[in-house]
Amino acid sequence: MIQLKGITWNHSRGFTSIVACAQRFSELYPEVDIQWEKRSLQAFADEPIDQLAERFDFLIIDHPWAGFAARTKVIQPLNTLLSEAFLKDQEHNSVGRSHESYSYDNQQWALAIDAATPVAASRPDLFEKEGLKFPQTWDDLVELSKTGKVAIPGIPQDTLMSFYMICSTLGEDVCTSKEQVISEKVGLQALKMLRALGEHIKEESYDWNPIKVYEAMTQTDDYVYSPFAYGYTNYSRRGYARKHLKFHDMVDIDGQKLISTLGGTGLAISSKCKESEWASKFAEFAACPENQKGIFFDNGGQPGHRAAWEDDYTNQQTDQFFTATLPALDRAFLRPRYHGHMYFQDRAGAPIREYMMHGGDEVKLLQHLNDIYEESLCVTND
């Protein structure tokens, strides 16, 4: 018996989907047994993948680790394991820049089996019941937030992603210069806009990741709208939660729809894997369009293959989640992936979160972010 182990994250979207693929793969190939373990969403974002690669054959990873992977070689470049035709199909059928997000130094470090970006979600029943105006612009959103019924993912990492989002929407991407995170003009405007929203958000939101936002929106009737949280198709499916969520594209700033920060997850193979041939066969199995539209989706997954996003069946099952949010995926910002960016990501969110909650001197805050960014450019070993 060939035994392989994988590590993913603790949600139906991340766990039951890949476990179902592994189960079916073992039914087709009885000589192979694949076991999956799970970790928290925060650990998924934070825990260095070199430690995981020592213990697991498969890793579900976040794409900012691509630069680290290219430098340390703790996971295998898939160009050496998978056919050129298969990788070309994955590239051609990428949802937004999902496939590209795992490419670095001309190598493909993971397959984008899952695609996501922050999108809007609402409780249509509550909008109707309370006679509220559905927001179309940032100013509309701020006005709606004054009701206390708007929820955001306010933990540091998600707050940082929201900062990236506003900067991109205002016309500048972060971390493109070695001198500063963002220009002073755009950086200060982005911070002030986040504060204008943040001062009306309930304190509990600042302890929430996207999953907790959606649980609060479905398990209680306290919130009617979330303007930008990483989408979870699970909450748009019948029978998954107490109440159904409708997912939408986001509000605009001066006519430009919000450009949110690309997420999703990738399937990588550890350099320590002793069964690379079987591991790559399973990777192809999980990422192929038939299984992405079928067993992966049917067991809670949020596919990364475009065919699944454009499929009638997946959209019927999710109240058109995929067609409604695909434009947001296609314009999403691909966050930095240089070797030291995880150093910046781990430290820059908390001061922005504090400012959104309590206000302060945005000039000093932006300088603090620049200092952290300068340090991150000097990181040589995570």
pLDDT, tens digit, for every residue of 221-250? 999 999 999 999 999 999 999 999 999 999
Helices (H), the chain: 16-28, 41-46, 49-53, 66-72, 84-92, 98-101, 124-130, 138-145, 156-169, 184-198, 210-219, 276-287, 289-291, 297-298, 306-309, 312-317, 321-331, 341-358, 362-376
Contacts of 252 (CB under 8 A, 6+ apart): 136, 137, 138, 258
pLDDT band at 382 (very low <50, low <70, confident <90, very high): very low
**Residue 196, token pair as written in the block:** 């204008």
Proportion of the chain above pLDDT 90, given as a percent: 89
How do residues 23-53 score in pLDDT, each as one tens digit?
A: 999 999 999 999 999 988 777 666 778 888 9
How do residues 45-90 score in pLDDT, each as one tens digit?
A: 667 788 889 999 999 998 887 878 888 899 999 999 999 999 999 9
Name the one residue in this structure whose structure tokens are 């302060």: 360
Closest to 205 measured CA to CA, from 165, 261, 149, 249: 149
